[in-house]
Structure 1
């Protein structure tokens, strides 16, 4: 299983691009509404993925799902730290928690803790969450107006796409 190496390489590449994108003074112009909305929504997506990954590390019934969860926590924590830095440099305030829908989805998965239904429910929720994140990213790449925010989206895309492949069955068959 090339889980750690390929995700690690993709994360390192994305972080390098994000670090370059965030190396601007705090006086940079605030991005337009579309870019601001992207930074806020992707931050909430990262928060949701981190929370779900932490929960799966505790409640998953298979070692594979626990390994995937650890990768998601690691990668989304790194991506979120860089996204927060970019938002701060751009003067964009970020929400403190995932959306209500994301919180409800995690609660629904948590309801299966301790049962054989947990892992399939978690993988399905992660597939849905990563599909939505890719839509956000692709929309930002194609129509965002801030070059640094678009660069960050481009850098994050391969990581999120790899996560989606993992949870759709490319790694675990729960």
Structure 2
């Protein structure tokens, strides 16, 4: 009889753990998180378009090189963003914002002249400054561990890009070469460590609830037996 009761309790513990773990592991995705993922994707699209445009229309080798770096790095970052958005069921915009398109069009109007290079550098200075502010806002007020990990992985890349165009002056030599961002949707190592820690914490929370529930049931059964 006692074995049967223990078996029942064990089964209940497993059931509770199984039903609780998914909810514990699924961290909250706030409006802040969702907005960041969408804006990050649009920012990546805008930076890749700007980089491609610079490679075609810039007059200096330095600006052309910075454009190449933007295409390379934001392509890798966007692979992470798209994979994360798919996982969290966040619908992504299909194109940059109207403002981002208008900004590139304004710069492109100066194509083939030195004025293009100057306008492009200033535009990228402003764009990466805004992106860095959005990243810092997500790290400070975001809720989802995976989204914050992606922001954390992107931050040094954006800082490097900003150093390459800061003040409207071209510094292609600032390219660090190695980008700590995923390829094909893999987060940076630092981000993966953060996610793993979050997963362990979530599972621990689910297991704790299961254990508490089992303990409560066992105590109740013991009291019932004593009453008999």
TM-score interval, normalised by the smaller of the two chains = 0.7 to 0.9
Q: Partners in 1 of 2:65 and 2:30 — Cα distance?
A: 38
Q: CA deviation at 1:53?
A: 0.3
Whole-Å separation in 1 of the counterparts to 2:55 and 2:28: 37
| Matched position secondary structure for 1:117 | helix
Give 5+ residue unaligned stretches, structure 2.
1-24, 173-228
Partners of 1:30 and 1:86 in 2: CA distance: 14
2:126 is aligned, of 125, 128, 131, to 128
- Residue 48 of structure 1: SS of its match in structure 2? helix
Identify which of structures 1 and 2 has the higher relative contact order when contacts are C-alpha pairs closer than 8 Å and 6+ apart.
Answer: 1
Deviation (angstroms), 1:97: 0.6
Q: What residue in structure 1 maps to residue 85 of structure 2? A: 87
What's the TM-score once normalised by structure 1's chain length? 0.81
In the alignment, what sits opposite 1:161?
Answer: 159
Which residue matches 1:107?
A: 105
Gaps of 5+ in 1: 1-26
3-state SS of 2:114 partner = coil
Q: Which runs of 4+ in 1 moved over 6 A?
A: none
Number of residue-to-residue matches in the alignment? 146
Using the size of structure 2 for normalisation, the TM-score is 0.62
> Residue 19 of structure 1 aligns with which residue?
none
In 2, Cα distance between the equivalents of 1:30 and 1:56?
Answer: 39
> CA offsets, 1:68-107, max 9 Å, x none?
1100100000000111000110100000011111000000
Show CA shifts across 1:105-152 (max 9, x none).
000000000111000000000001101100110000011000110011
Q: For the aligned residues, what is the CA RMSD?
A: 1.4
Structure showing greater Rg:
2
Question: Partner residue of 2:117?
Answer: 119
